[in-house]
């Protein structure tokens, strides 16, 4: 049965994601419990906040192992910090290891490239032409405007992935990554109007 498990590790706007899934008339559960989440068909890893405390909270609940274990079987959507956690490492508040589901690093915007380190607002998002023929979500993401609010972004991402790009001022960065069952979005689909709901709908029905 289709049922979305939203991972609750005590951080972020998880209830907004619930509202979006509710709008799509799909059953969902917000939970920190591995057993309950195991019974779900799809997993959403949300997250707002700092990378190290999020990793610590995942570990305390054995959710780190759970996510790595299911990443080959179930569709996973990582959102914002939840997307970043899926990568190998982050430099937020010191160098920290991530879940390593996808090879890549998370780094801060740099004042040599942008004047505003916090990238906030609606940005057009494009599929990277390399490997775009393999993209599952091209129709939902390519050329659409999504809502971003973040200071850190993905870099040195595994070349075998499908990538989407966006810009903070003139600086281009990786804003979404598809890899096996995983879609990692730096932007917030749950807060990006109809185009965001379309993307979540595609993820749920996949």
Partner 1 sequence: MNKRVISKIDIKNNTLVKGVQLEGLRTLGNPKKYADYYYQNGVDEIFLMDVVASLYERNNIGTIVKDIASDVFVPITVGGGLRSLHDISDMLKSGADKTAINTGGLKNPEFLVNAVKEFGSSTIVANIEVVRKGEGSYECFYDNGRESANISLRRWIDDLISIGVGEIILTSVLDDGMGHGFDENILSDIPVNLQIPLIVHGGVGSLNHVQALSKNDKVDGFAIASALHYSAKSYVMENTNNEGNYAYLNSGRVPLNIEPLSINDIKDIL
Q: Which helix (H) or strand (E) holds 34?
A: helix 34-38
Is residue 115 a contact residue for partner 1 (CB under 8 A)?
yes
- Of 47 and 75, nearer to partner 1 (C-beta) is 47
For the chain, how many helices (H) and strands (E)?
7, 13
Give whichever of 60 and 158 is closer to partner 1, judged by the CB atom: 60
Rounded to 10°, the helix 51-60/63-70 angle is 90
- Is the CB of 54 or the CB of 70 nearer to partner 1? 54
> Binder to partner 1 among 29, 34, 48, 107 (CB under 8 A)?
48
Contact pattern for partner 1 over residues 79 through 98, marking x by CB under 8 A: -xx-----------------
- Give the count of alpha carbons within 13 A of 36, CB side only: 12
Cβ closer to partner 1: 46 or 75? 46
Measured from the Cβ of residue 45, the count of other Cβ atoms closer than 10 Å reads 28
Nearer to partner 1, 34 or 197 (CB): 197
Angle at 41 between CA 38 and CA 46, to 5 degrees: 80
Q: Number of residues interacting with partner 1: please give it, by CB under 8 A.
A: 38
Q: And the tokens for 173? A: 């960065």
> Is residue 11 involved in binding partner 1 (CB under 8 A)?
yes
- Selected binder of partner 1 within 56, 65, 116, 206 (CB under 8 A): 116
Residue pair 186/150 in contact by the 8 Å Cβ criterion: yes
Task: Report if residue 52 touches partner 1, rule: CB under 8 A.
Answer: no
Phi and psi at residue 14, to the nearest 5°: -60, -25
Minimum Å distance from CB 82 to partner 1? 12
Contact 4, 28 (CB under 8 A): yes
Considering only 121, 130, 172, 206, the residue that binds partner 1 (CB under 8 A) is 121
CA-based nearest residue to 17, from 107, 79, 99, 100 = 79
Q: What are the residues binding partner 1 (CB under 8 A)?
A: 11-16, 19-20, 22-23, 48-50, 53, 80-81, 111, 115-118, 120-123, 147, 149-151, 169, 188, 190-194, 196-197
């Amino acid at each position: 049965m289709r049922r979305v498990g939203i991972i609750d590790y005590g951080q972020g706007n998880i209830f907004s994601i619930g509202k979006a899934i509710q709008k799509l008339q799909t059953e969902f559960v917000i939970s920190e419990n591995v057993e309950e989440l195991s019974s779900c068909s799809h997993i959403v890893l949300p997250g707002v906040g700092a990378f190290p405390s999020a990793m610590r909270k995942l570990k305390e609940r054995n959710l780190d192992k759970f996510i790595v274990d299911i990443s080959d079987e179930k569709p996973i959507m990582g959102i914002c910090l939840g997307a970043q956690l899926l990568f190998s490492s982050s430099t937020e508040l010191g160098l920290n290891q991530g879940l390593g589901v996808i090879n890549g690093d998370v780094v801060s915007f740099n004042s040599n490239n942008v004047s505003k380190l916090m990238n906030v607002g609606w940005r057009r998002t494009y599929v990277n032409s390399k490997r775009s023929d393999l993209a599952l979500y091209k129709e939902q993401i390519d050329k659409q405007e999504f809502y971003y609010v973040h200071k850190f972004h993905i870099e040195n991402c595994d070349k075998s992935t499908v990538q989407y790009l966006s810009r903070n001022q003139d600086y281009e960065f990786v804003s979404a990554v598809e890899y096996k069952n995983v879609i990692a979005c730096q932007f917030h689909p749950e807060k990006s109007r109809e185009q965001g709901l379309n993307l979540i709908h595609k993820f749920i029905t996949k």
